Amino acid sequence: MSAELKSPQTPYEALGGHEALARIVDRFYDLMDSEERYAELRAMHAADLSPMRRSLAGWLSAWAGGPRDWFDENPGKCMMSAHRGLGVSAATADQWADAMARAIADHCPKDSVIGQAMAERLDMMARAMVTN
């Protein structure tokens, strides 16, 4: 098949697949777990972050156009609705978006268009989750 006829790459493929997304997620939760500036966000989460590491990596993979296992395992679950009852504030949404942007920047090449696009979209989602 000629290069022109190949299917376009999904964001999942461009980002490096599940392994790369899992590394971003691990960095994200390591930052949240270790830095004082994320303390309020950290306090909202359970003591054991391992289930969250698995879940967020799976969700991101499906969201970015990769394997849809997370959606199959969580039928009908909407990320926005799932966060509605959590009392996300502007400050904690900001902490989430900041830690995620740093984790992405640590794993994507400098000036990576796909990395920046991912950080921007997740930032918008986190801010749309603010309920108080």
Closest distance to ligand HEM from the beta carbon of 100 (Å): 7
Position 57 contacts ligand HEM (CB under 6 A): no
What is the per-residue binding string for ligand HEM in 89-128, x denoting contact by CB under 6 A?
Answer: ---xx--x-------------------------x--xx--
The rounded distance, in Å, linking the Cα atoms of 132 and 125 is 15
Instruction: Pick one of 12, 29, 38, 59: the residue that binds ligand HEM (CB under 6 A).
Output: 59
Interface residues for ligand HEM in 1-40 (CB under 6 A)?
none
Closest distance to ligand HEM from the beta carbon of 45 (Å): 4
* Sequence letter at residue 29: Y
* Residue 74, CA atoms < 13 Å, CB-side half-sphere: 13
Got the DSSP string for 24-68? Answer: HHHHHHHHHHH-GGGHHHHHHS-S--HHHHHHHHHHHHHHTTS--
How many chain residues are in contact with ligand HEM, going by CB under 6 A?
20
The rounded distance, in Å, linking the Cα atoms of 93 and 30 is 17
Position 52 contacts ligand HEM (CB under 6 A): yes
* CB neighbour class for 57 (10 Å; exposed up to 12, middle 13-18, buried from 19): buried
Binding interface with ligand HEM (CB under 6 A): 41, 44-46, 52, 55-56, 59, 79, 82-83, 86, 88, 92-93, 96, 122, 125-126, 129
